[in-house]
Chain A
């Protein structure tokens, strides 16, 4: 009776130590100037955010290739180490833990989706690492007290619709929309865009008649659409990612609701959008932080190289990834170092005090890492989506009221 149980106990004790010790370890590497600079990234390659996650990945890869083609950073080649976090917060933390603690990468850059940025930025902070990220656009990212975080895009979510709000509030009283319905995904980014606009329009006296928030996994939009359609607002605003925006538009169209203006974040700029809603896109608005035609110096090179590498033009997600790379590269060149330890603080300090030229324009940050800017507004005109705001960048005039969809 005694020995089997005792053996079990030994097994428990030993496997605890041995198995754990066996599955990592022995990754100590000496630093030398010939070694590549390893950049650790965790991205959602599967799960809820896999589509945008893959877009960001392409952006990072394009940046690494462009940089290496030009001789690398500080004369060292750039190597990406990308892990999949399954769009899962537990995983994203374990990933960065592994990248920093076990793989000893030299730099880390951010994952996709606001929900994953906060936990991963904390890991970086507690290891004293610089953390530039392409996707943490919501307000709460910047009030966590992170000192190592920088958002590599022109504007945070709440400011995406700034140009549209200005335009609408400047309309004469007779034309100005009087009632608006908002439907937003319960996601810091998506909701941030819709609520940013809501706040500005309400302050301008435009009445909110429907305000719906739905969880990310909602699939049936029939009842939300019914509520909106029966309230007959002049304008409908969707704080959407991709599929939820499509579903909501289809549900609204099933009810034959015709607003004077319809604005949805993210979804309408996707290449598959028109096909997904049966080409009934007429007049739909969307904010965007990136345009292939933008006149910034590095953008031309980016579009060219990206198209050559992937056989298609870059979209916003790809641009975000690329921008992140550009920001980190600028800091590394300026500080003259790229490894864990004291170097990281030099990189952070430099970014706090300087401006970086990127494919989305010059970027600079406040103390919390928040960029200072706004998004452009695009509208579906015919079979194409065109920039309509701000006036100095427009490719077409904003059509209001919009044609029936």
Chain B
């Protein structure tokens, strides 16, 4: 028997312990420097929008990346966070940022029954529920106009009255930056924990994970609640920044689909994947708006991209590039054989048939 420690050392070390920290440092520098580099307030406001997407995509990735459950309804959770924040300020008179935190807690609490219904069953039903969540909340917030303001929308009081717009953008850019770092840190913490390992086991094979003793339902529910809380924080911050909430836009299926596109494009199994996806897609959205104006072709492009990513790059850009680099370098590990699960099942079947005959 050869000594185990040498051969396995590379795989044992939690991969790149210092890398995420270094990356976080760079991200902090980028966030700190951007407002002074931005040539005008419009660019700064676009930066706030992109950071909002980055937080949303990272929050989504708590569910999507760890458990593999794809939610198209996270836009609704953000909308709930926004409305809860706005209503707590206007109806209960709570200070803006206290309201933001309370709203996130409320949404997290609401995520428990939602998750209970959605996560009891596998895959398809979860997606159905996530879409239904958007549609039902749209109906409720449109109809319950005595509380929510209905289609007339809700005006959220400014947290810093009298502050001029460019300064307002700068403050919120930093707030979003902080929230993004917090979300990333939490994701990183989970990623290396036993809890995270159990979640990833669910993504790989839920039955198998359960047969090894992982309480899969409780795990899924917990991480869904965490994800909902972060999403609600992003939504609430948006409400404070933007100031006007309209159910049609707060509870839009499109928001959820952009989030999924960003996360899938960047890579759901990587800490920075959703951030990268959010920057690429978010910047592209703003860029095309400036250059070509808006048209329904946005929908076509989004649909087309989503379809292409699903068909040809389900692991996202970062792993694809990483794989490419590794193949070019022909590194330590010799057998990076790409093999799909389908191939594997086929091979197993053949081997089984061969063995039993």
Contacts and interface: CB of A to CB of B under 8 A. Distances in A.
A144 interface: yes
B38 to A, nearest CB: 7
B326 to A, nearest CB: 7
Interface in B38-65: 38-43, 45-47, 49-50
| Count class of interface residues, chain A | 35 or more
A264 B151 CA distance: 20
Contact of B272 (A8, A14, A17): A8
A179 interface: no
Interface stretch (A57-65, A93-101, A169-177, A367-375): A93-101
A188 B47 CA distance: 32
B46 A16 contact: no
Contact of A9 (B15, B272, B286, B296): B272
Contact of B16 (A2, A97, A188): A2
A188 B279 contact: no
A2 B19 contact: yes
Interface in B299-339: 318, 321-322, 325-326, 331
A21 B36 CA distance: 11
Contact of A101 (B42, B248, B275): B42
Interface string A11-31: 111111101110111110000
Contacts of B244: 89, 93, 118-119, 122
Interface string A328-371: 00000000000000000000000000000000000000000000
B191 interface: no
Contacts of A191: 152
B142 A13 contact: no
Contacts of B43: 20-21, 23-25, 101-102
Given A1-B10, A1-B15, A186 B33 contact: no
B334 to A, nearest CB: 15
Contacts of B248: 216
Nearest to B50: A20
B43 to A, nearest CB: 5
Contact of B279 (A3, A19, A114): A19
A215 B325 contact: no
A13 B54 CA distance: 13
B283 A20 contact: yes
B39 A90 contact: no
Nearest to A102: B42
Interface in A72-97: 83-86, 88-91, 93-94, 97
A146 to B, nearest CB: 11
Interface stretch (B20-28, B67-75, B203-211, B221-229): B20-28
A296 interface: no
Interface residues of B, number: 66
A8 B145 CA distance: 47
Interface string A160-172: 0000000000000
B30 A24 contact: no
Interface stretch (B93-101, B123-131, B287-295, B341-349): B287-295
A97 B45 contact: yes
Contacts of A123: 165
Contact of B34 (A20, A94, A144): A20
A34 interface: no
B26 A188 contact: no
Contacts of B321: 4, 8
A126 interface: yes
> Which 3 pairs from chain A and chain B are nearest by CB?
A101-B42, A25-B39, A102-B42
Interface of A: 1-17, 19-21, 23-27, 46, 83-86, 88-91, 93-94, 97-98, 100-102, 114-115, 118-119, 122-123, 126-128, 138, 140, 144, 185-188, 191, 213, 215-216
Given A127-B164, A128-B164, 9 more contacts: A9-B22, A12-B23, A14-B30, A25-B40, A126-B164, A185-B151, A191-B152, A213-B150, A216-B248
